[in-house]
Chains A and B, each alone.
Chain A
Amino acid sequence: MAEQTIINMVNEVFIDSFEIPADKLVPEANIFNDLGLDSLDIVDLVVALQKKFAVAIRDDERVRTIRTLGDIYNFIQLIKTEGNK
């Protein structure tokens, strides 16, 4: 389970960058089908997450497996943990 701080910060990206109402931001929400993101948005999502969390994920293959908001929470949690090792 990702930290609440990470969840809040990821949700801020979706609210600020993609104008998605906060009540739609639940872990099981599919970012394509439920939140309406497309291929261009994924580029912007990566740029925004890199800036928000000061991480480099652009060339990380695991980004391609992300489907839900929960996947992002967990991915960022994992990246932060890896970075701290």
Chain B
Amino acid sequence: MRRVAITGLGAITPLGNSVEALISGLERGECATQYMPEWQKYKGLRCLVGAPVRMQDEQLIPRQNRRSMGRLSIFAAQAAQQALKDAGVSREELSSSRLGCVIGSTMGSAESINEAFETLIPDFDLSKLNSTKFFQCISHTAAMNVAQYLGIIGTVMATNAACASALQAIGAGYNLIRLGEQDIMLCGGAEGLHPTVVGSFDVLFATSSSYNQAPKKTPRPFDVKRDGLVCGEGSGIVVLEDYERAKKRKAKIYAEIIGYSSHGNGSHVSESKREAITLCVKEALERAAVSSRDVDYINAHATATIQGDKEEAAAIRQIFGDTVAVSSLKGNIGHTLGASGSIELIASLIMMEKNIIYPTLNLEEPDKDCQGIMHVMKPLNKKINILLKNCFAFGGINAALVCKKEK
């Protein structure tokens, strides 16, 4: 099996539209959550806070590419361009059949899906639908739009596993390179914020609804006063590359991916299960050939739901005890769902580079159910050699990725 390096990063996030802006926001301890007054028109929607991206420069994407892009595909295209530039991938490499992309999202653009039905349903008249709405709505919209925009002719795939989409995309790209089927992969996730997406969590009482008038205090991962997640949006794209190839061209290597695992829980569509999380994380560590003692930092999934945080904390406690630093970035950027795995991995790789761990924002008092693990509650200067990134999705799909710092 070939080794796989991460050589480029790109991010569009609620804290800003670049990796630098994301990191700067994290350094300042900024919370991107804001009150969304326009959501009040949805009856029964209790959560009126979100973490939106301020879309910029979308006009730079040519109209004939942009017309098939919903919000999330625009984010993915912009993040992909950043990542390619960061990695120094040449035009020739980009048009090679050895370069592909795997980009996931929960679904197609929620905004576009709503627009399509709003157009169609009043009169049940298909003649009012434009030609490209379908391409904005399909489940592989981000992957196919990025591929079309950049002229990618290698493997193009989408992973649609809700909040595990991005990490599964990175895992799929990792395996394609390991197997020798591709040399370079653009991988990650994207998501667009829309009240109907928030509603899917809201009907399950999984959203934060007590802080509508104090948005900067939510979400609160692991905290005793947490009351649910806050939806965000954006995209994170990483460039994965055959390790030897990256070394040969003297590329900057952020880290080497050394382990990946993804499992179903086989028991419940919405409830996280500690046993399934434990299985997934342990397997990722085994595949990475490292022990729990070797891990320096865990970037938790922790979305601030009552049930999910408790189960993740229990799994971490069982595997790592209270010896490995843990933080969640959801307090800063909300839950970017299908993009969360890659955006948060990118932030973790910069933490690895800077020897610092950004804390779990809004975590003031760890809940009793979430204790027994090493919560990072203020910036922690620490050398990270090996990190673990967790993602858990609706549908009972878990994913874990292990990365090692390049020496």
Contacts and interface: CB of A to CB of B under 8 A. Distances in A.
Grouping DSSP codes into helix (H, G, I), strand (E, B) and loop, the B interface class, with mixed when no group exceeds half, is loop
Contact of A41 (B127, B128, B129, B131): B131
Contacts of B63: 18-19
Given A18-B63, A19-B63, A40 B131 contact: yes
B131 A43 contact: yes
A28 interface: no
Interface in A25-64: 36, 38, 40-41, 43-44, 47-48, 50-51, 56, 58
B64 A47 contact: no
Interface in B99-149: 127-132
B132 A44 contact: yes
Contact of A58 (B64, B127, B130, B131): B127
A58 B129 CA distance: 12
Interface residues of A, number: 14
A28 B207 CA distance: 57
Nearest to A58: B127
Contact of A38 (B64, B128, B129, B130): B64
A39 B64 CA distance: 11
Interface in B47-81: 63-64, 67
Contacts of B132: 40, 44
A44 B68 CA distance: 12
A47 B131 CA distance: 9
Contacts of A47: 127-131
Nearest to A40: B131
Nearest to B119: A47
B303 to A, nearest CB: 38
B127 A50 contact: yes
Contacts of A18: 63
A44 B64 contact: no
B203 to A, nearest CB: 34
Contacts of B127: 47, 50, 56, 58
Contact of A51 (B64, B67, B128, B131): B128
A29 B131 CA distance: 23
A51 B131 CA distance: 15
Nearest to A20: B63
Interface in B140-163: none
Contacts of B128: 47, 50-51
Nearest to A47: B130
Contacts of A50: 127-128
Contacts of A19: 63
Nearest to A42: B131
Nearest to A44: B130
Nearest to A46: B127
A68 B295 CA distance: 66
A18 B129 CA distance: 16
A38 B67 CA distance: 12
A41 B67 CA distance: 9
Q: Which of A36, A38, A40 counts the most chain B CB atoms within 10 A?
A: A40
Contacts of A36: 64
A19 B58 CA distance: 13
A51 B128 CA distance: 8
A48 B67 CA distance: 14
A43 B135 CA distance: 14
Interface string B351-377: 000000000000000000000000000
8 contacts: A41-B131, A44-B130, A47-B128, A47-B129, A48-B130, A51-B128, A56-B127, A58-B127
Given A38-B64, A43-B131, A51-B128, 13 more contacts: A19-B63, A40-B67, A40-B131, A40-B132, A44-B67, A44-B131, A44-B132, A47-B130, A48-B130, A50-B127, A50-B128, A56-B127, A58-B127
